Amino acid sequence: MDPVQIGPIAVAEFDAAAAADAAAELMPCCASKRWISALVSGRPYARLDRLTAASDDLLARLDWSELEAALAGHPRIGERATSDGRSDGWSRQEQAGVADVEDLVRRELATANRAYEQRFGHVFLICATGLSADTMLGALRSRLRNDPVAEREVVRGELTKIVRLRLAKAFR
């Protein structure tokens, strides 16, 4: 297996890969080292649905510090990812709803992102696929009212949705 292939690879190929190569395939899906390590050591999966179920289980059990590590791999809503890596390319696709927004909306997103980060200490995370900029901005403003414990669970759920989508892009 070539490390970090561009298109989706078969789960069977992932199962048979060297640990370092398998980890490299997972990294664009989620930046948590514990999640990556556990999925690599849990092989074989044979099918995408089994890999996804194992991922869901792991994400449900990650402690907050590992979730924060995963969040570090995500750009702010409304900010353009700058590298050509798969994760940043996927972020651009997922955030297509904010690609061509007016400057006013972009400024409102930036202001709300700063308020969110000040309140919760981490980037606002939402599964942005298919959402408009107005919908994301509304969710961001609404979630600013959450208490920190509730917001952490919302973040866990949003991360799980994003990882599911990314696993489906990375594996077949």
pLDDT in tens, 23-47: 999 999 999 999 999 999 999 999 9
4 within some domain: no
Q: DSSP string of 56-92?
A: HHHHHH--HHHHHHHHTTSPPTTSPP-S-SHHHHHHH
Scan for tokens 């792991």, then name that residue: 58
Judge whether residue 61 has pLDDT over 60. Answer: yes
122 within some domain: yes
Query: What is the CATH number for 40?
Result: 1.10.3330.10
Instruction: Report pLDDT for 104.
Output: 85
Judge whether residue 101 has pLDDT over 80. Answer: no
Judge whether residue 2 has pLDDT over 50. Answer: no
Q: ∠87-160-30 over CA atoms, to 5°?
A: 30
75 within some domain: yes
Instruction: Grade residue 100 by pLDDT with cuts at 50, 70 and 90.
Output: low
3 within some domain: no
Instruction: Report pLDDT for 27.
Output: 93
Q: What percent of the chain has pLDDT over 90?
A: 69
Judge whether residue 163 has pLDDT over 90. Answer: yes
Total number of domains constituting the chain: 1
The domain in which residue 123 lies consists of: 11-170
Cα-to-chain-centroid distance, residue 45: 21
Judge whether residue 99 has pLDDT over 60. Answer: no
Using the Cα atoms of residue 169, residue 136, residue 158 and residue 155 in order, give the sign of their dihedral: positive
Q: Nearest 10 degrees: CA dihedral of 54, 55, 56, 62?
A: 110
